[in-house]
Amino acid sequence: MGELSVTLSGLTLDNPLIPASGTFGYGFDHADFFDVNEVGSFSIKGTTLHPRSGNPLPRIAEYGGGMLNAVGLENPGVHAVIRDIFPALSKVYHKKVLANVSGFSVEEYAKCAALFGREEIVGLIELNISCPNVHGGGMSFGTDPKTAASVVEAVKKVTKKPVYVKCTPQCPDLLTMCRTLEAAGADGLVLLNTFLGMRLDFKSGKPILANGTGGVSGPGVFPLVLQRIYEIYPKVNIPIIGCGGVSSARDVIEMMSAGAAAVEIGTQNLTDPLSIIKIKHELPLLLRELGIKELKNITGRAFR
């Protein structure tokens, strides 16, 4: 194991850098810029049981600290990903991926996860619980611990792959949510999904995004996410993947110090496609500066 290697529920990554879902597609676009095997792993585009065309345009807006998106889970559906995308991906990418799963009912989550769970290229299942529960009146699974737990329990019954849950900051009691997910059998947590926000057009005064609101991401949310990880880490016994605003190797060190076992990098991938490679090459230099031999030893050092 190298100085940058980390382990997530039995899945060993040679480095902790994971492009976040929706910012790396299925890996093919970034393959034009670098060998995609340099990333530790990557989370595939959020996938649902059936194909989705996503929200109407415009669905991207910028702000001083990053961006907002309201893409709306545009994807070809799990069957197309398994049939068409995974075989092509396996020719250029030789590691495991995180299969990001979304659904609008417990049954959809379970069916999608079961299909991905049979695939060799899938290292772990990442549940996006920010979707509205259509059987529960539209409330997001991610804001109600009981319904979120029902998703985890259903998914754990149909796959042996580790199951990580990507939580939303819109949850009114994130600590209770995380503890409930752990009790329901979640193998790990991803903290956090995007924050809810909006931008208005200066001239018209109307929302820029056709959807009205969107998910806020980028460096501006980094301190907010860091605080949540710092709060949750000592109170759960499962690994945390930190996600939100990471844009440098120092951010990686900081987020892992707060308790993250690995990190997802999102908006920065879109700003600079080579950013994750730059971060990877800088991390060993920082470790030597700190006198630390293995990066995994940094996790949770804020509490030691």
Catalytic residues: 131
Both structure tokens of 280:
């990877």
Which residue has 């259509």 as its token pair? 134
| Cα(145)–Cα(179) distance, integer angstroms | 9
| Cα(134)–Cα(102) distance, integer angstroms | 13
Helix axes 145-156, 106-117, angle to 10 degrees: 30
Both structure tokens of 72:
């709306």
Closest CA to 40 of 65, 8, 70: 8
| Cα(122)–Cα(162) distance, integer angstroms | 10
Tell me if 171 sits within 8 A of 127, measured CB to CB: no
